[in-house]
Amino acid sequence: MKNHKLYLLILTCLLFTSCATDKVISYFQDAQNADSARIALPSPDIRFRPEDKLAIIVNCKDPELTTLFNLPYITRTVGVDMGANTNISGSSRGVSSYVIDDEGNIDFPVLGKLHIAGKTRNEVINYIKNELITRNLVNDPIVTVEYANLQYAVLGEVRSPGRYNINSDRTTLLEALSRAGDMTINGKRKNVMVIRSDSLGNVMTHTVDLTSIDSVVNSPVYYLCQNDMIYVEPTKKRARESTANGNVFSSPSFWISTASAVATLVSTILLIRIRAIND
């Protein structure tokens, strides 16, 4: 009877350990109880800043008129080296990009200085369209604006840390972590840090709890901006492993192996005793 109680105690401990592990690594644990009415997504608008690069293309019915408002084509796409021997076709050529100066302006063909800083991509499109029409330069302009150098960084306990391009107006924190290969098992889900700097140089730090869907979608950093830095803090277990310094007796793997061997030995002894009692 005592042996049966011992087995029941071990099984209970294992179940509690499993539940505790799920609470540490599972995302969105409150998703079933989340009230959709409480979720108010922040503004996804990315606003241009000095030193940002953007590619702008103007098209209209008159091809000769179009060339007046576009920078020369170059033999590489933005961020990708096409190579010196690449055969450049009309569909594969890239366009030169505009760099926003310290005063927030770009020097646009024919139109001259245009103040871009502080505007969203759609606002820049409408701004250039309006300038072309009101100055009687183009009656039917089609303006395309693309990000050229906007990026965010992912550091810490993810599978593929590094810098990633922002290609759309709405890049979420979850998408960023996904592109970085997701968090490792050693990353703290409850304490993901996003470091953000504004156009004035002010640095703000936001902490997001990925185990809570409310914390994620209601965070001001749910949508990323250029130059955001995402840091996934390691768990205490991971921190201890990094300080083992090759000492086998300080290594957690050594003690885990030892504990496993002891558990196997105890289980074997208990089974032998049970069989002896039954016989």
Query: pLDDT for 5-31, tens place per residue?
Result: 444 444 444 444 444 444 566 787 776
Residue 188 counted as domain residue = yes
CATH number of the domain residue 68 falls in? 3.30.1950.10
Domain count, the chain: 3
Radius of gyration of the chain (CA): 29
- pLDDT score of 270: 67
CA-based max dimension of the chain: 104
- pLDDT score of 174: 94
Domain that holds residue 65: 53-147
The DSSP call for residue 196 is E
CATH number of the domain residue 219 falls in? 3.10.560.10
- Of residues 98, 100, 105, 97, the one with CA closest to residue 50: 100
- Tell me which residue has tokens 């550091």: 155
Query: pLDDT for 64-102, tens place per residue?
Result: 888 999 988 764 444 444 433 333 334 445 667 999 999
Residues 196, 204 contacting (CB under 8 angstroms): yes
Q: Name all contacts of 170-173 with Cβ < 8 Å and 24+ positions apart.
A: 170/44, 170/223, 171/223, 171/224, 172/222, 172/223, 172/224, 173/208, 173/216, 173/219, 173/221, 173/222, 173/223, 173/224, 173/230
Among 8-17, 118-127, 163-172, 230-239, the minimum mean pLDDT is found in: 8-17
> Which of residues 147, 169, 188 is at a domain's end?
147
pLDDT at 132 over 50: yes
pLDDT at 126 over 90: yes
